[in-house]
Structure 1
Amino acid sequence: MARVRYGARTEAEIATAREARSALPDIWSTGVVALWESDPDAVAAVLPPPLEPARRPLVRASISTVELPGYPLGAGSVAVAAVHDGHEGWYPLVMPMTHERALTGGREVFGEPKKLGEVTVERDGLVVRAALARHGIAFVEVRGAVGEQLPLPEPTAKLDFYFKFLPAVDGEGFDSDPVLIHCTRHEKVRRLERISGDVVLRESVYDPVADLPVRRLVDLTIGEKTSDQQGRAVERVSAKALLPYIHQRYDDPQQIHDGPPEGSVR
């Protein structure tokens, strides 16, 4: 009988896949990072407990193209500064990706709020335009001109916070208590340049980052970097406390409350 591809893989095949994953080479991306101070109350309002606001109401938008073998990937995020148990980091609200493959591991393993979208980084000489778009709306756009080359930072570790959960089968909350994830990224930079420009936030029902206005632009750069990431589950969190924030994850705010279709088999 010909091999059935949906059938179980052998132990040797599983081991080969595991070894290939552990030996991945550095994958470099070219990206624009914008950092701004926003409204403190707005930043605090988007943080589910037990996350707390950081000392400064910072918002960070990252817009990158990634040199993946075989096909290019656009990857972006909009995150706010946050603190958990004394650890300072970032809480991403939305992470547009241009390929489903990038969604699967991030959402299922780490709990990242990834969604399919359009990610653009364009450079023509000194002119740069970068944007995150979904549903035909470029809800974040960076425009500017490249200035001086900046000193390269030392390799550093950056912390992101995610909530990992699954909606309940019966449409009532979650299958189990959500888990707060600490994800540490070890980042290396090989090129970094200043951008003189601005950040435009456009109104979007699905991605309302315009509620986090640019009060003061802190930093705007374009660079090349590589990173890896390691996550760990740090604690179970209150399902009741997290439920009011679940619309951050879904385009349809009622999706988390949807029950099975009428007449379906339970």
Structure 2
Amino acid sequence: MKVSDIRAQAYAMPLTSPAYSRGPFRFIDREFLIVTYRTDPDRLRALVPEPLEIDVDNPLVKYEFIRMPDSSGFGNYTETGQVIPVTFEGRKGLYVHSMYLDLHAPTAGGRELWGFPKKMATPTLAVDGDTLTGELRYGKSLVATASMGFKHSRVDARQAQQSLEAPGFLLKIVPHVDGSPRILELVEYRCIDVQVKGAWSGPVGLQLNSHALAPVADLPVREIVSGTHILADLTLDLGKVVYDYLAPVGEQTQRQSMTRTPAKKVLEHA
């Protein structure tokens, strides 16, 4: 294979059979169970990377279960994890702290493209009688359980849409062949073309158990604030680098990739 062919064809590993398709990625009937809770502010501060900032007076975490039955390029899978309300240069958003999912393609794609902190595990989200229930198992261990009364009260669709459209932040780490960091960046991404099909609230519960390799309990539940159930279609857009941790001190600049193609244009030619 010629060098020119490699450059033209390479976008993911392995070269001749990539683990995932080219993005962006459209999700149909994406279902969320989101439990917002207060945690220990000192532990939260220790886990959120600068230059992101947290509200120490209101230290919130959102524990999410997400069911994705129809995901272009990725297929049918479920994931769960923690996102943390933050601010970056005065703009509000969410830092993705942990994610656990049950399919290789979105695990590889999420890590390689954006820097999502994805690990393989066994999350589930399903209706059990009159209760929407999410569970995370790592191996045989039950790590997290969330429950919510099924569709007790409607939530304003616009409010739900705004929550899904909020910018997300990721810490992307790619090692060099000698084990040192080759890429160490803060990445911003957004969900676009969001269409909320329904949103509800209700009584909610959350239990986090200690686990060595799925340490979600390191951000303990001090008080549950709310629970939200959302059904929506959306597109996960490609990202941009907003902070380079390896840039020389004093030369830190914000930059956006000049090689990305806007999501809408890609979709038009898909």
Q: Give the TM-score normalised by structure 2.
A: 0.74
Q: Does 1:184 align with 2:190?
A: yes
Q: 1:260: which partner in 2? A: none
Q: Does 1:35 align with 2:41?
A: no
Match of 1:143 among 139, 144, 147: 147
Q: Is the 8 A contact 1:60 1:79 kept in 2?
A: yes
Q: Would the alpha carbon gap of residues 225 and 147 (structure 1) be closer, same or farther in structure 2, given more than 3 Å must change? A: closer
Match of 1:207 among 214, 235, 241: 214
Q: Secondary structure at the match of 2:170?
A: strand
Q: CA deviation at 1:34?
A: 0.6
Q: 2:260: which partner in 1? A: none
Q: Distance in 1 between matches of 2:24 and 2:135?
A: 32
Q: Secondary structure at the match of 1:207?
A: coil
For structure 1, list consecutive stretches of 5 or more residues without a partner in the other structure: 15-19, 242-266
Q: Is the 8 A contact 1:117 1:134 kept in 2?
A: yes
Q: 2:181: which partner in 1? A: 174
Deviations 1:94-118 (A, max 9, x none): 1112111101221111011011111
Match of 1:236 among 244, 247, 264: 244
Q: 1:68: which partner in 2? A: 70
Q: Distance in 2 between matches of 1:239 and 1:25?
A: 33
Q: Is the 8 A contact 1:28 1:66 kept in 2?
A: yes
Q: Does 1:100 align with 2:72?
A: no
Q: CA deviation at 1:169?
A: 1.8
Q: Give the TM-score normalised by structure 1.
A: 0.75
Match of 1:164 among 172, 179, 182: 172
Q: Does 1:82 align with 2:86?
A: yes
Deviates most, 61-70 or 96-105: 61-70
Q: Secondary structure at the match of 1:170?
A: coil
Q: Would the alpha carbon gap of residues 218 and 25 (structure 1) be closer, same or farther in structure 2, given more than 3 Å must change? A: same
Higher Cα Rg, which structure: 1
Aligned sequence identity (%): 23
**How many residue pairs get matched?**
227
Q: Distance in 1 between matches of 2:85 and 2:244?
A: 21
Q: Secondary structure at the match of 2:111?
A: helix
Q: CA deviation at 1:33?
A: 0.9
Q: Secondary structure at the match of 1:101?
A: helix
Q: CA deviation at 1:21?
A: 5.8
Q: 1:248: which partner in 2? A: none
Q: Is the 8 A contact 1:152 1:189 kept in 2?
A: no
Q: Distance in 2 between matches of 1:132 and 1:88?
A: 28
Deviations 1:3-36 (A, max 9, x none): x9xxx59x89x9xxxxx96796652212311111
Letter in 1 for 2:37: W
Q: 2:255: which partner in 1? A: none
Deviations 1:164-214 (A, max 9, x none): 22123223x3125x1110111234321122231310000111122212122
Letter in 1 for 2:167: L
Q: Distance in 2 between matches of 1:162 and 1:152?
A: 28
Match of 1:110 among 108, 114, 129: 114
Q: Is the 8 A contact 1:54 1:88 kept in 2?
A: no
Q: Distance in 1 between matches of 2:116 and 2:152?
A: 34
Match of 1:57 among 33, 56, 59: 59
Root-mean-square deviation over aligned CA pairs? 3.0
Deviations 1:47-90 (A, max 9, x none): 12222213521101111211226952112221222222112211
Q: Is the 8 A contact 1:73 1:99 kept in 2?
A: yes
